[in-house]
Structure 1
Amino acid sequence: MKYKLLTLLLFLIPCLVEAEPDVFKLDGKPVPTIVAKVNGVSIYSIQLESEFISFKLRAQFQGEKISPSEEPIIAREVLKSEIMKEIITQKAKSLDIEISPEQIDSQIQGIEDKFPNHTAFITALAFQRMNIKSLKKKIESTLLEDELIRHEIAPKVKLKDDTVKNFYNTNKSQFMKPALYRIRHILISTIPSPQKSADEASHKKALHMTRMINEEAKAKAEEVLQKVKTGDNFEQLAKEFSEDEVSKQKGGMLGDLHPGSTIPEIAESMVKLNEGETSNIVSSSFGHHILKLDEIVPSVLIPFKEAQSDILNVLMKRETKKLFKEYVVDLEKTAKIEIFI
């Protein structure tokens, strides 16, 4: 469901309690109570204001700022979207499509559950110039659109027999499994530096202890590295010296990794190794690692049969979106639309 903005408001709750409702203005000019009509049904300024606030919050979250002179232009685009939603809602209702109160209540509960409490939820709604009633209407509109697509568009979505295979053949780079590195490691743990303390003497003592422990860890790692270099069995060394309690039982085995699935320090080092090679000491926030590359599992193309259903889903969604857009454009042509801003 498309209610991410309400969840975004979670981060803004401390500020919301200070927000006071004001007359809705665009570039300093008051907005009329009714901003548009669709087949005689009014769209009110409070509805436009709610969606306009949503737009501004998303822009703010992305580090963008809307100037007052841009407000009327953006508001008209937001209003166009609200007009299309009203056209879709009217069409769905004309086909006797209904959404049960239980469906709507379930969606509302799912949204409210993301908030720490009911008060925070209501506060977020109020900040967006909404209440439970208007949220129910918004949810009903979204569900009606989903049902309209299911009734009117989905049955008409057809793909040619070779469409899926052609997409696979022309986009094979998207279906490559990345090369994997079968990695073992020996970890000698370190501890982080202590946080700053008001007691300077205690802080210095903690720093000294940390330095001693980490120097001992580095010395131990160098000692184990020498054993690796002189040919001692890596798996046995891992079982004896590694402080990674999970992997040490498996001879230090971390598994089949690709660079994006592990910490940067290990990723950078492992891709430079040849099969059977071991690394020098690799330091990370966890401590000092010694790596061994058992095997490189080559990048392979995912077989068509494995990718077929995913490709079909993607192409069906694309075609559905395309047909629905055309469907709504046709509805718009026959609708009586009046805009007052």
Structure 2
Amino acid sequence: MSTSQSTTATPPVRRRFTRPVPVSVNGVVIPSAAIAREAQHHQAADPDQAWMLAAQALAVRELLSQEAERLSIVAEPVEDGEGRRETLQEARLRELVEREVKVPSADDAACRRYYQANLGRFRSADLCEVAHILIANGPQAQELAGRLIAELRRQPERLAEIAAAHSVCPSRNQGGNLGQIGPGQTVPEFEAALSGLEVGKIHPEPIETRYGLHIVRLDRRIEGRQMPFEVVRDRIADYLEDTVHRRALRQYVTILAGRAQLTGVDFGAAAGPLVQ
């Protein structure tokens, strides 16, 4: 006599989100509901990380609020350039940071050093003048594209005529001309093909993108130009001062945290900036 044994598949175990111990700063408890609301504003790989980032953000705010209270900070709310007015608490925290976190202005020498070390950041982008024929995806697309490329190699002056007859891109009404194209204005595979193409030549293979198959001719390459230091000096100064200010503010918050009694939050394990 034979016996049969039935088995039941075990459902996959889902990772459960577990909230850590209550978060408090010098005895002031930050409600879980407030952390949950704040967590919606923090991108994270999982709910636990979002909760941690939200808890850190609210703990920093509480640290600064308590310090503003200790120093009897008073400030008048101001409006930004778009007409948004600070709350009283936001004004107090702004005044606290302005008073306690001092950073030097970026001088001309520092800006010039940064400019020389990062010349590539202050160069206008290269531009390409391009004409193309777009063949719609389909069973005969590769064969048609190959045949048209062969014809254009023999008679390159026919590109406008062939574009009008076969291209599914609106540029067919301008002889296939796409105008001037800069970095990021086309899909990556199209841009990569242009980077290695000689001016005046048609790409030897059709370029496949999500739009179809492209037959491409590079008509002109316009080299980017280096922007003079005088044009970008203020932009560099703003960047350097903002970077130093963020670093100083982080150090200030770390000092406050070192003096405080904290539970449920660890600034030493912060994955990102403590203050934004």
TM-score, normalised relative to structure 1: 0.54
Corresponding residue number in structure 1 for 2:236: 311
1:85 aligns with 2:61: yes
Distance 1:53 1:270, change over 3 A: closer
Distance 1:90 1:234, change over 3 A: farther
Query: Does structure 1 conserve the Cα–Cα contact (< 8 Å) formed by 2:129 and 2:218?
Result: yes
The structure with more helix, counted as a fraction of residues: 1
Distance 1:284 1:170, change over 3 A: closer
1:184 aligns with 2:184: no
**Per-residue deviation, residues 209-241 of structure 1 (Å, max 9, x unmatched):** xx4xxx2x5554345334312224245325522
- Give 1:60's match in structure 2, choosing from 29, 46, 49: 46
Aligned partner letter, 2:73: L
Query: Does structure 2 conserve the Cα–Cα contact (< 8 Å) formed by 1:259 and 1:268?
Result: no
Distance 1:290 1:55, change over 3 A: closer
Aligned residue for 2:234, secondary structure, equals helix
**Per-residue deviation, residues 31-67 of structure 1 (Å, max 9, x unmatched):** 46xx5453xx622453786489679972417xxx88x
Distance 1:330 1:288 in 2: 59
Aligned partner letter, 1:284: T
Query: Does structure 2 conserve the Cα–Cα contact (< 8 Å) formed by 1:234 and 1:251?
Result: no
Distance 1:187 1:91, change over 3 A: same
Q: Please report how far the alpha carbon of residue 159 of structure 1 lies from its aligned counterpart in structure 2 after TM superposition.
A: 2.2
| TM alignment of 1:71-220, pairs within 5 A | 82-92=58-68, 94-97=72-75, 144-146=92-94, 148-149=96-97, 151-152=98-99, 157-190=104-137, 211=139, 215=140, 217-220=141-144
Distance 1:257 1:229 in 2: 23
Distance 2:94 2:34 in 1: 22
What RMSD over aligned residues (CA atoms) do the two structures have, in Å?
4.3
Distance 1:219 1:145 in 2: 67
**Per-residue deviation, residues 97-147 of structure 1 (Å, max 9, x unmatched):** 3669xxxxx89xxxxxxxxxxxxxxxxxxxxxxxxxxxxxxx986675445
Corresponding residue number in structure 1 for 2:4: none
Which residues of structure 2 form unaligned runs of 5+? 1-16, 79-83, 265-276
Corresponding residue number in structure 1 for 2:29: 43
Distance 1:318 1:185, change over 3 A: same
Aligned residue for 1:261, secondary structure, equals coil
Aligned residue for 2:236, secondary structure, equals helix
Corresponding residue number in structure 1 for 2:207: 282
Q: Please report how far the alpha carbon of residue 173 of structure 1 lies from its aligned counterpart in structure 2 after TM superposition.
A: 3.2
Distance 1:25 1:237, change over 3 A: closer
Distance 2:39 2:169 in 1: 51
Q: Please report how far the alpha carbon of residue 294 of structure 1 lies from its aligned counterpart in structure 2 after TM superposition.
A: 1.0
- Give 1:338's match in structure 2, choosing from 255, 261, 264: 261
- Give 1:320's match in structure 2, choosing from 245, 248, 253: 245
Q: Please report how far the alpha carbon of residue 170 of structure 1 lies from its aligned counterpart in structure 2 after TM superposition.
A: 1.8
Aligned residue for 1:316, secondary structure, equals helix
Query: Does structure 2 conserve the Cα–Cα contact (< 8 Å) formed by 1:181 and 1:293?
Result: yes
**Per-residue deviation, residues 281-335 of structure 1 (Å, max 9, x unmatched):** 33333233211111222354333233323212211211222333454456567x6
Distance 1:142 1:58 in 2: 26
Corresponding residue number in structure 2 for 1:237: 161
Distance 1:46 1:190, change over 3 A: closer
Q: Please report how far the alpha carbon of residue 167 of structure 1 lies from its aligned counterpart in structure 2 after TM superposition.
A: 0.9
TM-score, normalised relative to structure 2: 0.64
Aligned residue for 2:198, secondary structure, equals coil
Distance 1:59 1:48, change over 3 A: farther
Corresponding residue number in structure 2 for 1:262: 186
Aligned partner letter, 2:231: E
Distance 2:41 2:143 in 1: 56
